[in-house]
A and B are shown apart, each in its own frame.
Chain A
């Protein structure tokens, strides 16, 4: 375990000091903002543990201590301990379902040990990143093999599902960030296209009426098909036929005094047109027509399912989605959080109101200002300069992690570093996006900024492990030269 400090001047010379600097810049500015957000002027010392900023300082110190210990651990142990860590974290999550678990804000996500509240989902990320790295670093692994991908999906999916069951949607969503790493590892690009399409369809199904949706999909599918098969006359004839058929059927229904909506009228006409399309495709030997037919049916089905799922959602979740999509807006109700958050950030202007002078955040206009909405304090007190500073730090930090991954010689380290980069990316984008109305209100912390011991420790550990792996890699490199 104890390595010789040989030739190159010891462990320190191989550490990526740029990454360390970025890390310290982030945690320092993060704590400054927690201090501003939670200081009520009641305690006279910055270290008062009765106050949240004091508490956070203890977490920071503890994390740094553990981080140093992690740096001293031989890098091989991470490889060896990957699965045990994964299992251990999963067990912790399972404990939250037992009487030892603690519920807060509707999520069953904590374990209470004395005065400490621990959120296992935060540590699960480390376990999952290590396990995924371990699994994908296997010599036989290939992203092209379906069985491997399914197993991988299980490794990622199990904790995700467990966290979903905790009713902590935000933390579960973070596991989608592995897609970031998987893109680098060569997962089929079509999967990303399909995901993009589904997401677009999901958003569109809120924005537009089902009837319009159907018409739009017919036009889009027909147009795509036409582009590929260059049969514009037939396509136009088909569209004209469907239009005429719909009008005729609609007036027939009116005449019969039956109450059939336009949506179903169009679907009936389309159903009736199906044999013609099939016969046409067979005659012309146009297999792609079937593909677009399938796409159409899937899309219609999906948008219908979306509606059903949406109806089953909790009211606050519904409102958050509708609010984000700009469909509903009400300053005093559920849109409140986002509006207050935007006001706080927007009112900071270019240079901000100054440290400790944020009126929006200080007086509780912004909810959860020291946890999920800590970015409001940054925006209000430090202005555009401050938010840009944070963005640049995070961007450099994430790019640095990716770079650390790229220079790894072993796929274990690369996968791990990319996973960590993805996790940070996801957190930063969702959290900041939420405070400025780009994303729905999903409660996940902003790394190193949001108050909370578990998340701070977890993010620090994620980073320190990456740093350790990178250091080991450089050491190996220096040997090989």
Chain B
């Protein structure tokens, strides 16, 4: 046709080849390679987590124990800022001009386009004022933080902190930077308190500036607020208990016997829970952690103490149940039990029967009882079998194991077993070898919670409910069913009467160990003191009891490390708390002063 039509065809193919190369490349980028789609999502979608407010915690009377406080952070986008009245701004947010300038510089250095926190935790008034002024480039965001209106029960309530790597691994709900309950109720009820995070999917531009919602927000979820908890604690009682314990090391646990609800759980020394919130949290935490008295340590459930004489109640009950002891049985005591290496006692009338032995806390009496239990040849072939049986009884009171309460950190305590003694004494041991158990010494280790539970069990004449600190969860009819189950001891109801009688006498009759500082007309307090021998220093002072005698409303255990004789410090504390709980008044201000002014030395906590 024309000259060069061959070249026309060649050029046609050249054009088609070039377009073919482009088409192949596009096929690769758009169809085969998926990495661009992922990059695109990362590029332009920003998942903005919406944090729910954490659930609040009330005490049993509806008072706030933990509140979610609204805090306001002043945010800034430096690129949008127009000249503004710096002096006015300084006045509103109450900072110096230098500080404001410093923060502005910091924000600018971080990013010109991205929002950053200029000042955190400004006041609500400042927030309202700034909203009114509406300076371009500034805005205020709402966050929530924990606050504690009464500053009590730090150890029990626990604290919240940033999640650790392990938390994130364990539960995919958490993301770096989230907050999680670290101890106490905050930890135990984390799932209820945390609520459900929401997510807002935003479209962002190249500067990271939000341009709108992704798909009009149809994939967004709203955060669900955490559930409110009602605690069993009595805030005022707890506060009073903590005040009484100031300067002392130890704990108070009080339980409502009919339900197992914990009324007080005070561990001393404690700390102000507000210290573990906000900007100073890290510093305060380290300070508390390094405190030699270990304020972060919840002694009420984490300390293993020898129960001392309070444990005589258990041995008495076991003796009665086993039939090796009758209520009328008399035993003599002349300053102690004189068999084997012997157990010393104090001066009191002799011989005495069971209720008197409880009243006067006679060591020798319970040595007889305990040996009768272990050396009961009629029933058991050997002492090992007898100790097994004794173990069974003791376990049924909740000793030697976790009570399975609803907060964390509970300790087992320790009840020595046949195997243990076989190992330690190479199978050569007898009732005299382990005679310390009769008076709650030796290998026995109990937490103050377990001792309070014993008080509740005796108050109930033979059963207990698992002690717990939460009685109601918002929106739920009941708490965990285990808290409604009655745990009955292996002791018959009738055997409790003489023991209770002895405990009543201990507070009400002359010669009783708790009369001097524990008695109050009409209080009907029953109890048992304990003076636990302590190889490291002065004896621990302890008391457990309940009131009133019939239909008891409160069971209590007080343990004061190095407090000396049970009657001197543990008893007045218990008596005052019971009085305050039952009558809501304090008729013995001098006793309050006495307790508050009592100075106890803690040489091994405070030594360098």
Contact = CB atoms under 8 A, between A and B. Distances in A.
Interface string B18-46: 11011101110111010111011101110
B4 A359 contact: no
Interface stretch (B199-207, B365-373, B572-580): B199-207
B206 A406 contact: no
Given A343-B36, A349-B37, A395-B15, A363 B203 contact: yes
Contacts of A399: 12, 15
Contacts of B40: 343-344, 346-347, 359-360, 380
Contacts of B21: 438
A134 interface: no
A115 interface: no
Interface in A61-90: none
B10 to A, nearest CB: 8
A363 to B, nearest CB: 3
Interface residues of B, number: 38
B19 A350 contact: no
Given A342-B29, A384-B27, A402-B12, A359 B5 contact: no
Contacts of A402: 8, 11-12, 15
A379 interface: yes
A362 interface: yes
B16 interface: yes
Nearest to B11: A184
A180 B11 CA distance: 8
A46 B206 CA distance: 25
Nearest to B208: A363
Of A184, A359, A360, most B-chain CB atoms within 10 Å: A359
Interface in A427-481: 429, 432-433, 436-438
A347 B36 contact: yes
Contact of A363 (B19, B36, B204): B204
A403 B197 CA distance: 65
A362 B44 CA distance: 10
A402 B4 CA distance: 13
Nearest to B3: A186
Contacts of A421: 15
Nearest to A379: B30
A387 B31 contact: no
Interface of B is mostly: helix
B15 A362 contact: no
A406 B10 CA distance: 13
B15 A363 contact: no
A391 B7 contact: no
Which of B7, B22, B25, B204 has the most chain A CB within a 10 Å cutoff?
Answer: B22
A184 B2 CA distance: 11
Contacts of B43: 340, 343, 359-360, 365
Given A342-B36, A344-B40, A346-B37, A436 B26 contact: yes
Contacts of B203: 359, 362-363
Nearest to A331: B39
A185 interface: yes
B30 to A, nearest CB: 4
B95 to A, nearest CB: 35
B26 A345 contact: yes
A384 B26 contact: yes
Interface in A366-424: 379-380, 383-384, 387-388, 391, 394-395, 398-399, 402, 406, 421
Contact of A384 (B2, B16, B31, B204): B31
A387 B30 CA distance: 10
Contact of A346 (B36, B204, B205, B211): B36
A133 interface: no
B44 A359 contact: yes
Given A343-B36, A346-B40, A379-B30, A388 B23 contact: yes
Nearest to B25: A436
A429 B22 contact: yes
A398 B205 CA distance: 37
Interface centre among B7, B19, B204, B211 (most CB of A within 10 A): B19
A393 to B, nearest CB: 11
Interface string B77-106: 000000000000000000000000000000
B19 A406 contact: no
A362 B10 CA distance: 41
Contacts of B36: 342-343, 345-347
Contact of B205 (A364, A425, A436): A364
Contacts of B211: 362-363
A101 interface: no
Nearest to B39: A343
A310 interface: no
A349 B8 contact: no
Interface string A219-246: 0000000000000000000000000000
Nearest to A353: B40
Contacts of B31: 349-350, 384
Contact of B25 (A184, A347, A438): A438
B45 A359 contact: yes
A348 B12 contact: no
A401 to B, nearest CB: 10
A141 interface: no
Interface string A165-203: 000000000000000100111100000000000000000
B33 A394 contact: no
Nearest to A180: B11
Contacts of A342: 29, 36
B4 A186 contact: yes
A437 B28 CA distance: 12
B29 A345 contact: yes
Contacts of A391: 19, 22-23, 26
Interface in B168-221: 203-207, 211
B571 to A, nearest CB: 73
6 A-B pairs with the lowest CB-CB distances in the bound complex, closest first: A346-B36, A347-B40, A363-B205, A359-B44, A384-B30, A346-B29
Given A183-B11, A363-B44, A384-B26, 12 more contacts: A343-B36, A343-B43, A344-B40, A359-B40, A359-B43, A360-B43, A362-B203, A364-B207, A391-B23, A391-B26, A399-B12, A399-B15
Interface of B: 1-2, 4-5, 7-8, 10-12, 15-16, 18-19, 21-23, 25-27, 29-31, 33, 35-37, 39-41, 43-45, 203-207, 211
Interface of A: 180, 183-186, 340, 342-350, 359-360, 362-365, 379-380, 383-384, 387-388, 391, 394-395, 398-399, 402, 406, 421, 425, 429, 432-433, 436-438
10 contacts: A183-B7, A184-B11, A345-B30, A347-B39, A359-B203, A363-B205, A364-B206, A365-B206, A429-B18, A438-B21
